[in-house]
């Protein structure tokens, strides 16, 4: 159980990019994590001191069934026409960044600098650090559905992705992106 006495449910979804761990409360998805998670402590924090239930296939809660359906549609190469209920945990700033990520259309990309501008506008300030935005993007607990893979560096740099750069590349290809316009840096946070 979590700090409110709720059970946290987990299941694994076998995807083309590896086994994804889905974590949810009774009514909302709280994490979608990759096999090679960049910040595993974020995921561990979600289940610390909680009763984690791994339900039998016929007892999976509705929220996890809806998430699986969303992923089935997504990995079939189509744009899902619904979003499962989401409840990512994080600071108000991170949540604001994640809300901006949800606005990025399927098959489109945006830069960290563009998100920083959007967040600055929402906060009514002149500037926002793209690095601060990058930190929030990097700690997104619900990969793919909150599409942090659609964020790229200036000039098409495929930098920064919690599930690994090859996974980011595969997700962008799945969405029909022309990968010739991007590059993988030789060193840095993307690898």
pLDDT in tens, 58-74: 788 999 999 999 999 99
Contact 183, 115 (CB under 8 A): no
Q: Given this model, what pLDDT does residue 54 score?
A: 77
Q: Given this model, what pLDDT does residue 92 score?
A: 96
What are the residue numbers of the active site? Answer: 148
Choose among 56, 51, 60, 58: nearest CA to 29.
60
Please count the helices (runs of H) and the strands (runs of E) in the chain.
6, 6
Same domain, 58 and 130: no
User: Residue 97's domain spans which residues?
Assistant: 92-181
Count of the separate structural domains present in the chain? 2
Q: Given this model, what pLDDT does residue 1 score?
A: 41
Residues of the chain with pLDDT under 70: 1-6, 37-51, 187-191
Q: Given this model, what pLDDT does residue 44 score?
A: 61
Domain boundary among 43, 75, 107: 75
């Amino acid at each position: 159980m979590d700090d409110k006495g709720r059970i946290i449910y987990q299941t694994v979804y076998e995807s083309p990019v590896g086994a994804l761990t889905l974590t949810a409360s009774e009514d909302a998805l709280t994490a979608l994590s990759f096999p090679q998670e960049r910040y595993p402590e974020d995921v561990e924090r979600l289940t610390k001191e909680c009763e984690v239930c791994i339900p039998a296939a016929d007892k999976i809660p509705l929220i996890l069934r809806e998430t699986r359906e969303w992923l089935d549609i997504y990995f079939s190469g189509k744009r899902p026409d619904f979003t499962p209920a989401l409840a990512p945990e994080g600071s108000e700033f991170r949540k604001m960044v994640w809300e901006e990520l949800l606005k990025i259309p399927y098959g489109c990309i945006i830069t960290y600098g563009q998100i920083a501008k959007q967040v600055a506008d929402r906060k009514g300030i002149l500037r926002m650090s793209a690095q601060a935005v990058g930190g929030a993007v990097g700690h997104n607990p619900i990969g793919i559905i909150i599409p942090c893979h659609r964020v790229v560096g200036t000039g098409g740099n495929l930098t920064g992705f919690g599930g690994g750069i090859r996974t980011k590349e595969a997700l962008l290809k799945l969405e029909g992106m022309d990968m010739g316009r991007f590059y993988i840096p030789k060193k840095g946070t993307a690898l």
